[in-house]
């Protein structure tokens, strides 16, 4: 993952999931490990908040149900962390690809 994408993803995830980094800039693997731990904590103590975040992040319900299935090969917190990380990366890529465009025929008084 490129450095800019990593930094933006880290910023979104640390904000939304209340992860404190201090002055440290984690690698993608370190971020993933911290997110796994935080998701495990939220599953245990703040499930409503976690589910609300998953909804706000627009993570596919089908994918969530697959990860939470008893037949899943990986622990639920790891699966959810993977879905969260991938969704946040996709969000950033979409914002960069379809960011704000200046409308040329917009009246000046209507601009923000």
* Residue-wise pLDDT tens digits, 90-104: 999 998 888 766 666
Where residue 72 falls among pLDDT bands split at 50, 70, 90? very high
Among residues 81, 94, 26, 21, the alpha carbon closest in space to that of 54 is found at 81
Report the mean per-residue pLDDT for the chain: 88
Instruction: Return the pLDDT at 6.
Output: 85
* Residue-wise pLDDT tens digits, 45-67: 999 999 999 999 999 999 999 99
d(CA 85, CA 28): 9
The 3-state DSSP class for residue 66 equals helix
d(CA 64, CA 83): 8
CA angle (18 as vertex; 13, 19 as ends), nearest 5? 70
Every domain of the chain and the residues it spans = 3-93
d(CA 75, CA 67): 8
Among residues 81, 71, 62, 66, the alpha carbon closest in space to that of 17 is found at 81
């Amino acid at each position: 993952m490129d450095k800019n994408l990593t930094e933006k993803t880290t910023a979104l995830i640390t904000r939304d999931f209340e992860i404190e980094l201090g002055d440290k800039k984690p690698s993608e693997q370190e971020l993933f490990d911290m997110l796994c731990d935080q998701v495990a904590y939220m599953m245990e103590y703040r499930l409503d908040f976690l589910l609300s975040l998953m909804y706000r992040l627009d993570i596919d319900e089908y994918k969530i149900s697959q990860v939470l299935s008893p037949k899943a090969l990986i622990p639920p917190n790891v699966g959810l962390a993977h879905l969260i990380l991938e969704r946040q990366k996709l969000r950033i890529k979409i914002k960069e690809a379809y960011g704000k465009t200046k409308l040329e025929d917009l009246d000046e008084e209507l601009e923000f």
